Amino acid sequence: MTDSAERKLRTYDNKIIKLAFDHEGCGCVMSGVPALWLVDEADGGDVLARGSALPILYEKRHAVFFEDSLTIDYDEGKHAFQLKSKQQTYHHDMPVQYK
């Protein structure tokens, strides 16, 4: 997580951050998109990501869709979160949703 992403995510008080593979409305679980969900508590299948400045959850079953090492960034000019790795950009305008 970059410093700019951490600063922005800290503004969502009392919420837990969850990296989701959101497939709602996509027609198929294989056609999902990354999203940041703000949740009140972990679900039964959630695990805690390692190496992040803030605690981030993700569903263990969705780990197959991501690389082992990811970066969440925030572009202050575009007011947008980005999810990327050394090899690719997963999303350049990742939504943040209260769930």
How confident is the model at residue 17, as a pLDDT?
96
Angle at CA 22, nearest 5°, toward 95 and 1? 50
Distance CA 30, CA 75 (A): 27
pLDDT in tens, 58-87: 999 999 989 999 999 999 999 999 999 999
* Confidence grade of residue 16 (pLDDT, cut at 50, 70, 90): very high
Task: State the Cα torsion 98-9-56-85 to the nearest 10°.
Answer: 110
- Evaluate if pTM is beyond 0.85: yes
Q: How many CA atoms lie within 13 A of 69 on its CB side?
A: 3
Distance CA 18, CA 55 (A): 9
- CATH code, 42: 2.60.300.12
What domain range is 87 assigned to? 3-98
Percent of the chain with pLDDT over 90: 77
How confident is the model at residue 14, as a pLDDT?
83
Q: How many domains does the chain have?
A: 1
How confident is the model at residue 79, as a pLDDT?
95
Which of 59, 53, 46, 87 has the alpha carbon at shortest distance from 72?
53
Structure tokens at 20: 């989701």
